[in-house]
Structure 1
Amino acid sequence: MASKILTLGIVLAVLAISAQGRGMSAPGRRRQDSGCAPDKLTVYKVVLQTAWSREVFPKQYPEWRPPAQWSKLIGRSHDKSYVLFRMSQKSSKGLKLFAEQGQTDLLDAESQGEGGIFDEFNAPPIKQGVGETEAEFFVDGNHSKVSLVSRVVPSPDWFIGVDSFDLCVEGKWVESVVLEVDPMDAGTDNGFTFTSPNWPTVPQKPISRITATSPDHPANSFYYPERPEHPPIATFHILKVKEYELSRVFEPSVPSNTRYTMNDLNALAPPSNRHDNEATRADDYEVSNDIIVPQDTSSSSSSSSSSSSKTARVPAHGKHVLLHNIVDQYKKKYRKNRRGRKMGKRRLPRNCRVSEWSEWSACSKTCGIGEQTRTRSVKKHARRGGQPCPNLQETMWCGSARDCDHRYFDW
């Protein structure tokens, strides 16, 4: 199983890298909507491993004020309408502030449930160039994409990230994927070096990938013209943790804990002196463990009646049976009650009637994954074969998969 997961992760990583050039940008990935079930919530873990060392990137390697490190990781799970960043497009004001100064106020204002966002989550900063951090988040079939950003510290406006990576492939959730990334330029600052002053880019440029030869300037801190390309400066490992399924509560038209004896059914049976050719009482039913069959009341025609009799499977306990199983069967043949027969009319079926939905309840958890519910009640149960009652309770996800005990330092 582990080898299959690893193989799938490698294949997906290779496909993603070849399509995006390690920039992890959505436009390079032409994929149809995921098709994963919207009522199933899947929890993932993202592990960011960084490889910014003096041995691999010796040029102008920052040793102090501040030393090489990474800001906290900002993540969003979302649908196709949301964009945290997009390669070859201009940075938003929120991303500009984050890439230049590490400020997250505008990005944090993007609330869960608005603008296509499903979960908003963070991971702690990495206090050195080489390190690791992780966080959990959740997705569903309507919000199967994940976007991630972490700022290069120090830098003018450089960051690493993943743009709108879809975790649902051909209707199935990805078990594991590895995404290698290069640094990116937010296009909002003119600086070439890690510690260059703040020189705004006017007009603002689109987000671009920083390579060994781009920007093509010797002052560029990541300029290594002797290399065909950089080794990856960071790697995102995304692993599926578990799946949840929303529950729906249904109530039958007649409460399932209501049970009737044969005497109760006899009281409902039509009088034997009316429609004598069709008169049948509840005593004419034989109750076994799981079937009800009409008893043969005529010894002369036992073989023909037993062969033509219809059986209906219902759960039964001794001679007590569920009302909504046996009575519905009983009333299919006898739909006229006494009032209806006196009037010469058959009463029409009555559908179940329910109240309006209540307001959504508060989230069951202040941190982590919780649920919100809303309910409605039955005003009138279905009668005479009418439509049964619909679901009386609905549940939806709320909260976040973030670790509530962590308090992250903002660069």
Structure 2
Amino acid sequence: MGTPSPAAPWGGALWALLLATLGCSAGQPLGGESMCTAQPLAKYSITFTGKWSQASFPKQYPLFRPPAQWSSLLGAAHSPDYSLWRKGQYVSNGLRDFAERSEAWALMREMEAAGEKLQSVHGVFSAPAVPSGTGQTSAEFEAHSRHSLFATVPQDTVTEITASSPSHPANSFYYPRLKSLPPIATVTLARLPHSPRAFPPAPGFGGGGNEVADSLPAPETPLDCEVSLWSSWGLCAGPCGRPGAKSRTRYVRARPANHGAPCPLLEEEAPCVPDNCV
């Protein structure tokens, strides 16, 4: 799915794995009756909404080489015997290329090959990339009525994606002042009416299908000033036989934004007795 690319290469795997949750077991007969009684094919729309803006996430927000952006939306409806990735196992070459370089062709070929060989992948879908941190992209796909999606998605389902892990100052999304972070993105899955003429346009779109919407407004997240540790004390300066002064400094690691706490003093002095008199 969408990824912060290439500013945060882990994003490609994250969104791709999110779409992997769409693959779930087909409904099995229960009590002699099928769990699903709908038409053979059901249509769904999936909409990825990026909310990665400088106002919502000001810390280390990528402005250059390249700016914040999301890769193409990519996923598949599949059965339980197929997965894009499993914990504790190496990723495929296709998923690695998608996560690290936002190149989707190899991963798409892998999914299509799984569908031909194992009959595990029932449908592959993709949508354009979002060239900025905020915006929308959407795609439509079909799944068989026996697929459990048909029973578990009676209405729009919105999944929020956050970036709070790891909880460490080196994380670009580390905001200890906040109890919870705003979502960096959302994924909306909706079942569409069966008649093609009744398809409603996705929010922010002119119609269904693969499209990209313009940037969306985002809430402001306060960013407190971050400073380095103090340096060592300097030499004691002053005339011989009289009290002198020594100083130490620190520098700004991240400037405050959106009404965050201001920066403290960057230089500090302390009295001392000169010890280098001749």
Q: Which of the five TM-score ranges fits, normalised by the shorter chain?
A: 0.5 to 0.7
Contact map agreement 2:44 2:191 (CA 8 A) in 1: yes
Per-residue CA deviations over 1:95-118 (Å, capped at 9, x if unaligned) read 121111112232111217334111
Q: Structure 1 residues 67, 97: closer, same or farther in 2, change over 3 A?
A: same
- Post-superposition offset of 1:43: 0.6
Contact map agreement 1:24 1:181 (CA 8 A) in 2: no
1:176 maps to which of 145, 152, 156: 156
Which has the bigger relative contact order, CA under 8 A and spacing at least 6?
2
Give 1:72's aligned residue.
72
- Give TM-score, length-normalised by structure 2: 0.53
Q: Structure 1 residues 53, 239: closer, same or farther in 2, change over 3 A?
A: same
Superposition pairs of residues 136-151 of structure 1, within 5 angstroms: 136-144=140-148
Give 1:230's aligned residue.
181
Give 1:111's aligned residue.
112
CA–CA distance in structure 2, aligned partners of residues 100 and 128 of structure 1: 18
Contact map agreement 2:26 2:147 (CA 8 A) in 1: no
Q: Structure 1 residues 139, 92: closer, same or farther in 2, change over 3 A?
A: same
CA–CA distance in structure 1, aligned partners of residues 190 and 38 of structure 2: 20
- Post-superposition offset of 1:83: 1.1
CA–CA distance in structure 2, aligned partners of residues 31 and 229 of structure 1: 33
- DSSP-derived class of the 2:100 partner: helix
Per-residue CA deviations over 1:198-244 (Å, capped at 9, x if unaligned) read xxxxxxxxxxxx42xx3244222222233333211111111211338
Superposition pairs of residues 289-300 of structure 1, within 5 angstroms: none
2:126 maps to which of 82, 107, 122: 122
2:172 maps to which of 201, 205, 221: 221
Q: Structure 1 residues 231, 89: closer, same or farther in 2, change over 3 A?
A: farther
- Give TM-score, length-normalised by structure 1: 0.37
Per-residue CA deviations over 1:56-92 (Å, capped at 9, x if unaligned) read 1111101121111111100211122221234665433
Give 1:36's aligned residue.
36
- DSSP-derived class of the 2:41 partner: strand
Superposition pairs of residues 268-283 of structure 1, within 5 angstroms: none
Unaligned runs of 5+ in 2: 1-16, 29-34, 196-207, 212-278
Per-residue CA deviations over 1:17-70 (Å, capped at 9, x if unaligned) read xxxxxx95989xx99847335861011111111110111111110112111111
Give 2:221's aligned residue.
none
Q: Structure 1 residues 126, 142: closer, same or farther in 2, change over 3 A?
A: same
Larger Rg: 1
Contact map agreement 1:118 1:143 (CA 8 A) in 2: no
- DSSP-derived class of the 1:69 partner: coil
Per-residue CA deviations over 1:282-338 (Å, capped at 9, x if unaligned) read xxxxxxxxxxxxxxxxxxxxxxxxxxxxxxxxxxxxxxxxxxxxxxxxxxxxxxxxx
CA–CA distance in structure 1, aligned partners of residues 139 and 97 of structure 2: 23
- Paired residue total: 172
CA–CA distance in structure 2, aligned partners of residues 108 and 81 of structure 1: 17
- DSSP-derived class of the 1:227 partner: coil
CA–CA distance in structure 1, aligned partners of residues 84 and 161 of structure 2: 16
- Post-superposition offset of 1:167: 4.5
Per-residue CA deviations over 1:143-200 (Å, capped at 9, x if unaligned) read 44xxxxxxxxxxxxxxxxxxxxx4523xxx5232111122xxxxxxxxxxxxxxxxxx
Q: Structure 1 residues 141, 79: closer, same or farther in 2, change over 3 A?
A: farther
Superposition pairs of residues 5-404 of structure 1, within 5 angstroms: 33=27, 35-37=35-37, 40-86=40-86, 90-109=90-109, 110-111=111-112, 113-114=115-116, 115=118, 116-144=120-148, 166-169=149-152, 174-182=154-162, 210-211=163-164, 214-243=165-194
- DSSP-derived class of the 1:242 partner: coil
CA–CA distance in structure 2, aligned partners of residues 135 and 219 of structure 1: 35
CA–CA distance in structure 2, aligned partners of residues 40 and 100 of structure 1: 38
Q: Structure 1 residues 93, 69: closer, same or farther in 2, change over 3 A?
A: same
CA–CA distance in structure 2, aligned partners of residues 31 and 84 of structure 1: 15
Contact map agreement 2:50 2:136 (CA 8 A) in 1: yes
Higher normalized strand content (fraction of residues): 1
Query: What is the aligned-residue RMSD (CA, Å)?
Result: 3.3
